Amino acid sequence: MKKTKILFLCTGNSCRSQMAEGFTKFFWSNFINPKSAGIRKYEVDPLAIKVMKEEGIDISNNYSKTIQELEEKEFDYVITLCDHARETCPYFPGKILHKGFPDPPYLTSQLTNIEDKLKVYRKVRNQIKDFILKLPQHLRLIS
């Protein structure tokens, strides 16, 4: 069975798109070949790594990359995870979908307590997880 190729696209490929790729590999690797990239690249967010480890998913070896750095250039679906990526997404053959999620680094930029920051990251992580758990049905990849 040919796997569906999905690109998760976000501004910096440091948090939300890394989480989406990690969850997709964890839950749907039999059906989906996920990749992630950003319009720009940043370091993978240490708090994203931490909250994903709480789910049993290790993204600590992932690295941030731009669209231009991707080896694969053709995807069945490109899913933008933030408004900036949706607005600046270059042309890709295939279907482009948008499912925006709040930006944990932005939401926590004024917080100083690590537990308060982690609560925000966990909330967004759980929203992404819920979306990914339903992804094959939404895309009609499995019956």
The tens digit of pLDDT for each residue in 40-77 reads 999 999 999 999 999 999 999 999 999 889 888 889 99
Sign of CA dihedral 102, 103, 108, 110: negative
Q: Tell me whether residue 89 is one of the annotated catalytic residues.
A: yes
Determine the Cα–Cα distance for residues 7 and 69; give it in Å rounded to an integer.
13
The tens digit of pLDDT for each residue in 71-117 reads 888 899 999 998 766 666 666 667 888 899 999 999 999 999 999 99
Q: Tell me whether residue 10 is one of the annotated catalytic residues.
A: yes
Task: Give the domain extent around 41.
Answer: 4-139
The one-letter amino acid at 82: C
The tens digit of pLDDT for each residue in 20-43 reads 999 999 999 999 999 999 989 999
Q: Which of 78, 82, 124, 128 is catalytic?
A: 82
Determine the Cα–Cα distance for residues 133 and 15; give it in Å rounded to an integer.
18
CB-neighbour burial class of residue 5 (10 A; exposed 0-12, middle 13-18, buried 19+): middle
Q: Tell me whether residue 15 is one of the annotated catalytic residues.
A: no
* CATH code of 111's domain: 3.40.50.2300
Q: Which of 89, 96, 97, 107 is catalytic?
A: 89
User: What pLDDT, on a 0 to 100 scale, did the predictor assign at position 87?
Assistant: 67
Q: How many structural domains does the chain have?
A: 1
Residue 143 has pLDDT above 60, yes or no: no
For residue 64, give the nearest of 34, 45, 41 by alpha carbon: 41
2 contact partners, CB below 8 Å, separation of at least 6: none
Two structure tokens written together for 117: 């920051």
